[in-house]
Amino acid sequence: QVQVVESGGGLVQPGGSLRLTCTASGNILAINSMGWYRQVPGKQRELFATITSSDSTNYADSVKGRFTISRDNAKNTISLQMNNLKPEDTAVYYCNADLIGSPWRYLDVWGQGTLVTVSS
């Protein structure tokens, strides 16, 4: 079984920082891309950061310049460094992986989510 697990969420004051980690485990042949999503109750889940197998990154305007996504291929992890957090960043943050499992098959795997609360 392949799974991804997020960690690192919590409560932080506006202007503070948090670092989230997403770890993929199981029989994985390759990870094509990974991304971070966030969701507020009653709203659509928002994709805001992605990283490809070639380490190309993209960010939504809402987080550009404040958030940084990175990848550690040896450990099958991605990290999200979040700086200058704002109250509107409060959401459940989800990791998603587009990968190839073993035996060979395409998989789209979601983590369970971790809550980030930005409040004074």
Q: What pLDDT, on a 0 to 100 scale, did the predictor assign at position 19?
A: 98
Task: Please tell me the predicted confidence (pLDDT) of residue 74.
Answer: 82
> Is there a contact between 27 and 99 (Cβ–Cβ < 8 Å)?
no
Please report, in tens digits, the pLDDT of each residue of the chain (120 residues total).
899 999 999 999 999 999 999 999 999 999 999 999 999 999 999 999 999 988 999 999 999 999 999 998 788 899 999 999 999 999 999 999 999 999 999 999 999 999 999 999
d(C-alpha 93, C-alpha 74), whole Å: 23
At residue 97, φ and ψ (nearest 5 deg) are -125, 130
